[in-house]
Every structure is written in structure tokens, then in C-alpha cells.
Amino acid sequence: MQDDTNTETQGEFPAQNMRGLKLLVTVMTVLLVAGTVLLIYGIIDKSGAMEKSVEGPSAITLPPGAQVNDVFTVEDRLIVQTIGDNDDQRIYLFNIKNGKLAGEISITGEDE
């Protein structure tokens, strides 16, 4: 004779364990969805920052004999450093938003 009561309850879990398991699965699903949403938001936010391009002026007229030595940006300024034939240096500051010249600095050395 076989004991039927043992085979009936072998595959079943107590109701308390199932409630805990359902709660755990629900919490993990919410965390997974929230993490995915935050990841997508971060990617979109970073790609929007990359779209901001440096416009600056379309053309710059330099004095005769001058050459561009360096170009870089600082915040909303495009900075162009030039050096001339007599080693005279100039720094041009352009507004990136409108491309206009915001300032010019001449760098000269002392005559000995």
C-alpha cells in the first residue's frame, strides 16, 4: 500500500512562501523597469549634450604674416591664438552663440 498523502503535497509550497516569492518578483521587476528607464534617460540626456556644436565665426581675417597657433573653447567662447612674423601674438575671443568678436588681446614682449 502506498501513502497518497505524501505524493500530493510533494510539489506544493506553503502559501506564506509563495506570497514572499511573489513580493520579491514584483520588487525586482519594478527595480528592473526603473533602472531601464533611468538608463534610457541618461543616454538621451548625453546625446542631447553632444548635439551642441561649436559654431563660432565662419571666417577670420588675420593680419599679414600671422598664423594660427592654437584654437580651443572655454564655456561659450572660441579662443584663437595667433603668432605673427615679428613674434607678436594676438588672442581673439569669439562668442560661439553669435560668432561675433568678443575681444582681442595683443601680447608683446619688452624691447631690450
pLDDT value of position 87: 80
Tens digit of each residue's pLDDT (9 = 90 or more) over 41-54: 998 888 775 555 65
Q: Give 62 or 109, the one with higher predicted confidence.
A: 62
Cα 100 to Cα 106: distance, rounded to the nearest angstrom: 18
- Full residue range of the structural domain in which residue 15 is found: 4-51
- Residue 85 has a CB neighbour count (10 Å cut-off) of 10
CATH number of the domain within which 96 lies: 2.40.10
Three cell numbers, residue 36: 531601464
pTM: 0.47
Q: Are residues 13 and 59 part of one domain? A: no
Q: Are residues 65 and 104 part of one domain? A: yes
| Angle CA 27–31–37, to nearest 5 | 145
